[in-house]
Structure 1
Amino acid sequence: MGKLYGLIGHPIAHSMSPMMHNGEFKELGLSHHYQAFDLSPEQLEDGVEAMKMLDIQGFNVTIPHKVAIIPLLDEVEQEALDIGAVNTVYKQDGKYIGTNTDGKGYLLSLLTLLQENDLENKKVLVIGAGGAARAVAVSIARAGVLSLSLANRTLEKAENLSSVCNSYTSANAITLQEAEAELHHFDVVINTTSIGMSPHLDRMPLSVERLNEGTVVSDLIYNPLETKWLKLSKQKGAVTDNGISMFVEQGALAFEKWTGITPDRQRMRNAVLKELGGYSC
């Protein structure tokens, strides 16, 4: 008999995670099932107890529960505590343990874009200071970079995040105006905000006027598949990537945590792209 896995969040109907995970279970000949559970904030505590009663072996956590779930778990890994959010829960020795595969997933996707994976020699700029920024920035800082700059509309939030990252690397907070002026100094530029997401297709997080050729420019958005910001960056000679890589990698890491099996990442990516209308078998 197969095992049950899941996803909790609110709203949840738009999620592609069930399609991605159930598709991979089927391809691997596993009788497991991944189910989405729509839980309002008021239902979260009872929902976690219900997950235990159903003997769910692991589950993903999405908005708005990534922070609120922390005190409801038996243990939380240090990186997730640094990020301040949990997106994956796995069962070990009867305990529900929280981790965060968002940052690790992003890091793996970023390394594929860098020549010789030389992250330690890179000057990185992260735009934003919300939940996604925390996952990306903390994981990059823990992996080791030459320097990490955090730019946000509210400088105080960037300063708070930089104080966490400073435990692992040289990090500082700058304004968006400073980021634009100094854009040519960075080797990697990452947008973690929703600026440019459909339907606001004409908006951009920063001007790319001072962007150097060969810079890696990454946008966590994947609707549209190529934002205006990525398109203009590519025209400037940048190496670009959208948010699908991170989505697939974080899902694959959760899959491995739950099952001990390494899924076919390209197959998972193709499934997501097909669902988004960017790929056909």
Structure 2
Amino acid sequence: MPADSAQPEPAQLDKHGYLFGQKIAASLSPLFHSVIFKELGLKWEQSRLDSADIPHFLTLIKDPNCFGASVTMPNKIGIMQHLEELTDECRDVGACNTIYYKPGPCGRRIVCGTNTDVVGVRESFYRNVSDPDAVFHHKPALVIGGGGAARSAVYALRRWMRATRIYLVSRDRAEVDAVTSDCAARGYGDTLVHVASAEQARGLQVPGAIVSCVPDFPPVTAEEKAAREVVEAFLGMEAKGCVLEMCYNPTPYTELGALAERAGWQVILGTEAMIWQGFEQAKYWTGLNVDDLPQNLVKEAIAKHLVQIARV
């Protein structure tokens, strides 16, 4: 029986939450959190809300039985101005992917926003790399892409992973300029370096950590091919590090991940980042520590789901 079908009917629920965004039919978030809620004995459910209607969403989350929400594109930036409190991560990245509540005066709840994607990036490396000092501490890092995930990666690499410089590679120079400008405005853009050619890459120190934040499509345009050449130049260097491939839809086994593995790099699947950011969300909603959540059960459920998808 599919996991979602085992959820209680709305009338039986004690609390409910939302996955708020568009193109979310394939999201693993409701399955992920349903495993946690069931194991903890909570009659909670996360429902998909395929919408960009922020005013309507804000009305829904006023319900006292709402435990919070996951927020995805295109709402991660627009929702921020409507929240009462933001964590440092949320403010510095410039995007919110999680809404939770804090108790306020006179029993009123304060609507808060955070960004757990940054934790997903950080934990993916620290829980899978046995010797961070040898692999990525105090070394340059590389981020491929220029969207919201790339900003989260830049934050995690700079804030927690001791990156000395962060190389940016993208098919779109305007995206790189936007990331650099946004990070500079928030006080951490001084270490970003746009790498525009394979020749330039070969003259740089090899990155210890690479985070790929682009879809799993083969390069077609001249700009896409140039960006891939830059990445391959880094992968071909003698020293090897670790690659986190953020893409996991429809499969975490991507072309870029295969290239990195063949070149001798350790590859971390994108499901790792999804899992650890999800545990961080559940921490905010349940009040439990991440280590007190049913981590093995969740990982097994996600792995089983990916196998089912692969068979379709």
Same fold, TM-score > 0.5, yes or no = yes
Which residue in 2 is equivalent to 1:128? 145
Quickly say closer, same or farther: Cα 1:142–1:179, change in 2 above 3 A: farther
Moved more, 28-37 or 90-99: 28-37
- 1:227 corresponds to which of 240, 254, 272: 254
In 2, distance between residues paired with 1:59 and 1:178?
45
In 2, distance between residues paired with 1:123 and 1:110?
15
1:154 paired with 2:189, answer no
In 1, distance between residues paired with 2:217 and 2:130?
28
- 1:96 corresponds to which of 111, 131, 155: 111
Which residue in 1 is equivalent to 2:82? 72
Larger radius of gyration: 2
- Aligned residues of 1:158 and 1:174 also touching (Cα < 8 A): no
Q: Which amino acid aligns with 1:242?
A: L
Give 1:66 deviation, angstroms: 0.6
Give 1:163 deviation, angstroms: 4.8
TM-score (norm 2): 0.79
Moved more, 176-185 or 45-54: 176-185
Q: Which amino acid aligns with 1:220?
A: M
Structure 2 counterparts to residues 22-171 of structure 1, below 5 A: 22-39=34-51, 41=52, 43-53=53-63, 55-93=65-103, 94-118=109-133, 119-143=136-160, 144-165=162-183, 167-168=187-188, 170-171=191-192
Which residue in 1 is equivalent to 2:300? 270
Give 1:135 deviation, angstroms: 1.0
Q: Which amino acid aligns with 2:36?
A: E
In 2, distance between residues paired with 1:182 and 1:113?
29
Q: Which amino acid aligns with 2:144?
A: I
Q: Deviations over 1:150-176 (max 9, x none)?
A: 122233432442355563473322225
Q: Which amino acid aligns with 1:142?
A: R
Which residue in 1 is equivalent to 2:264? 237
Q: Name the count of aligned residue pairs.
A: 273
Q: Which amino acid aligns with 1:207?
A: E
- 1:207 corresponds to which of 219, 232, 237: 232
- 2:217 corresponds to which of 192, 196, 205: 196
Unaligned runs of 5+ in 2: 1-12, 104-108, 219-224
Q: Deviations over 1:225-258 (max 9, x none)?
A: 2112211221221101121000001100000011
Give 1:21 deviation, angstroms: 0.4
In 1, distance between residues paired with 2:309 and 2:38?
20
Counterpart secondary structure, 2:137: helix
Root mean square deviation, CA, Å: 2.6
1:19 paired with 2:31, answer yes
Moved more, 218-227 or 175-184: 175-184
Give 1:278 deviation, angstroms: 7.0
Counterpart secondary structure, 1:48: helix
